[in-house]
Copies of this chain bind each other. A is one copy, B any other.
Amino acid sequence: MFTMTASGYMGKILYIDLSTGKVRVEELTEQIAEKYIGGSGLGAKILFEETSAEVDPLGPENVLIFATGPITGTRVFSSSRFETVAKSPLTGIYGEASCGGYWGEKFKRSGYDALVIRGKAEKPVYIYIDEEEVQIKDASFLWGKDTFETTHILRGKIDRSIAAAVIGQAGENLVKISCIIAAGEHGRAVGRCGLGAVMGSKNLKAIVVNGKKKVKIAREDEVKSLMKKIMPRMRSGVAEAIRKFGTSAGFVDCENTGDLPIKNWYQGRWEEEAKKLSGQTMAETILVGRYHCARCVVGCGRVVEAADGPYKGMQIGGPEYETLGMLGSNCLIDDLPGIAKANELCNRYGLDTISTGGVISFAMEAYDRGLISKEDTEGVELEWGSTSALIQMIHQIAQRKGIGELLGEGVKRAAEKIGGYAVEFAIHTKGLEFPAHDPRAKVATALAYATSNRGACHCQAFTHDFENGVSLPDLGYPETLDRFAVEGKAEFVFKMQNLMSMIDSLTCCKFVIHGGVTVEPLREFLNYVTGWSMDTGEFLKTGERIFNLKRLYNVRCGISRKDDTLPPRILTHKRGGGTNILPFLNLMLNEYYQLRGWDEFGIPTEEKLEELGLKEFKSY
C-alpha cells in the first residue's frame, strides 16, 4: 500500500487513483476557491473537468469526490458537513449528496478541502487519511459487513476518535439507490443519487479520517462575536422545536397541509395514523436520546430504543421526517417501531431511505394493481401497510434478490421494466425519487423539484419551509409566502437555489436558516474565516455560478427543458387533503428560464456564461 505524508497546510486537493495506487496532492488556489467556494461547487467543477460526457457512472473513469468548504471545521454553527459528488448511477446525470456527522471536520482537519477518487482497486480496500499520512489499505476483512459492523471494527482496529464513511452490502452490490453512512449506528448518510454504488464500483469499502489540526481562521474574534449574537436564535422557534422533536416535529402539520406523501402520493388524508408517527409521539414512546453533528447546537438527531415488542433491544439512530414519510405514510405504515427497524436495516445495508421508500411504495401499488405478482416478490405479500413486507423488500433490494434486483435500480427503471402504465405512478424527476414533500401543496416546491440539478429534491432550493410559516427577510421575504400563489414564485426559486448552492459549498447545515443564519450572517462568516471581502451581490452571484455549472454538466448529459418536469400523477391527480391544484409548470418555467438567462430549451445562454465566468464549461 502506498502511503504519504500530507503537507500539513490547508487548501489542498487530494487525488487518489485506486487502479494504480497513486496519490497526489494539488493546491487549491484562492482564485478557484473564490469562484467555486468548496463543497458541491468545487465538486461540480472537478467532476466536469475530470470526466467525459460518456463516462459510465459505475466504471473506473467516474470520479468520486468528497469536499468540504471554507467554514468546515471552524467553530461556526453546524459547519461540519461535507458534500459527495459523482456522476450518478441512478440518474445518469450530476449526482451530489450532503452529509453531517464528524467526517467532514476530521477530513478537513487532515489538511484537505477535497478528495478525488478515480479508478478501481483490484480487491476491497479502505482509505485512511489524517494530517500525517494517506494510506490505501486492504479491506477484505470488511467486505460483506454492514455499515455499523464496519464502523465498529474500524474504530476498534484504529482508534475510537476516527470518523468513517462506509458502504454496506447495498453499495458493494452496486444497488443504484445505495448510500454512504458516515456516523455508524447514528446513520448520517450521503443519501441520494446512489453514490454508495459508485464507492462499491471502486472496491472501496470505507474512507477513514482522523485529522486534528486546527483550521486557520482569518478574523477569529469576529466569528466569535457573530456566533454570540446569533446563538439565542438557534435555541428558539423552529430550531427549538427540531431540537425537541427532531425533523418530524411538524409531521402532523405536514399531513394537514398535504405536504406528506400518502399511499405513493395518491391519498389525501391519513390524519389519525400520522399522529402515531410524529416527533411528539416518538418523544413520548421510543426516544431515548439525541445526536448532534459536530458544531451543532440544534441536535435534530434522534436515538430510539425498543423496550419491548418484536424489535426489543434495538437501540439506534431514529427515523427522520423523510424516512417516516417515505417508509411510513407513503407505504401506509403507521407502526413507528417497525419503521425504526426498517430505518436501521437501510442504514446497515447502506440504502437511501428516501429512494427505498419511494420504490417500495411504488411496488406496493404495482402489486395492488396486479402489475407484479407474488411470484415476482418471491412470496412476499407486498400489501399496503405491511411492516413485514417493507422489511422483506429492504432485504431483497440490498441483496439483489427477487424483485429487489429490479427495485434497486430505482423507480424510473423499475417502472420502465414492468412496463405499461406503471410509468404513470413512478414518482421521480430526472430519475431521482421524490423526497417527502408534495409539490401539489406548495407552488415553489413544484418548480424547485422540476429544476433541481440532481433530480427531485427539497434541499437544492429548500423552499418548502418558506411557503409555510417561515419568513426569510434578508432574501427579500419579510413575510411568509402564500403557498398556493404562483406570482413571484419563479423568482423565489431562483433566489433560493442560488443561496442553497452557496450553503452546499460552504458547507453547512441548512437548519441554521431556522436560527436566522441566512444570507448576511453566512456571507460574514465566510469573509471572517477566509479574510475575503465578498459583498452580498457577489455572494449570491457565486451561488448562481455554481448552480449554472451543475446545469451545464447536465446539459452535457443531454438534459434540457423536457426533463424539467414532474411525474404524471403529480401533474394530473388531485389527491385532496391539504393539497391544491398544481400550478401550470410550463408558464412558471418560461419565467424561470428568463430569470436564469437560459434559452427556451433551458440551456444557459452564452451571455450568461460570459457573465458568470463559465465559458470554458460550454457543453453544447
Q: Hey, which bits of chain A sit against chain B, CB under 8 A?
A: 419-421, 423-425, 555, 558, 560-562, 568, 571-573, 584, 586, 589-590, 600-603, 620
Contacts and interface: CB of A to CB of B under 8 A. Distances in A.
A371 to B, nearest CB: 8
A558 B420 contact: yes
Q: How often does this chain occur in the complex, in copies? A: 2
Contact of A586 (B562, B571, B589): B571
Contacts of A424: 560-562, 600-601
Task: Output the residue of A555, A568, A571 with the most chain B CB within 10 A.
Answer: A568
Contacts of A584: 584
Contacts of A590: 572
A269 B558 CA distance: 31
25 contacts: A419-B558, A420-B555, A420-B560, A420-B620, A421-B560, A421-B561, A421-B601, A421-B603, A421-B620, A423-B560, A423-B562, A424-B560, A424-B561, A424-B600, A424-B601, A425-B601, A561-B568, A561-B572, A568-B601, A571-B586, A572-B586, A572-B589, A572-B600, A573-B600, A584-B584
A584 B601 CA distance: 20
B568 A562 contact: yes
Task: Output the residue of A425, A573, A601 with the most chain B CB within 10 A.
Answer: A601
A589 B571 CA distance: 12
Contacts of A571: 586
A586 B572 CA distance: 6
Nearest to A371: B620
Contacts of A561: 421, 424, 568, 572
A602 B572 CA distance: 12
Contacts of A601: 421, 424-425, 568
Nearest to A423: B562
Task: Output the residue of A420, A423, A602, A620 with the most chain B CB within 10 A.
Answer: A420
Contacts of A600: 424, 572-573
A421 B593 CA distance: 15
Nearest to A582: B586
A538 B572 CA distance: 33
Contacts of A562: 423-424, 568
A558 B586 CA distance: 26
Given A421-B602, A571-B586, 15 more contacts: A419-B558, A420-B555, A420-B560, A421-B560, A421-B561, A421-B620, A423-B560, A423-B562, A424-B561, A424-B562, A561-B568, A568-B601, A572-B586, A572-B600, A584-B584
Contacts of A573: 600
Nearest to A586: B572
Contacts of A620: 420-421
A312 B67 CA distance: 71
Contacts of A568: 561-562, 601
A573 to B, nearest CB: 6
Contacts of A420: 555, 558, 560, 620
Nearest to A584: B584
Contacts of A586: 571-572
A162 B589 CA distance: 57
Nearest to A572: B586
The 5 closest A-B pairs by CB, nearest first: A421-B560, A421-B601, A424-B601, A572-B586, A419-B558
A423 to B, nearest CB: 5
A584 B590 CA distance: 15
Nearest to A425: B601
A312 B608 CA distance: 52
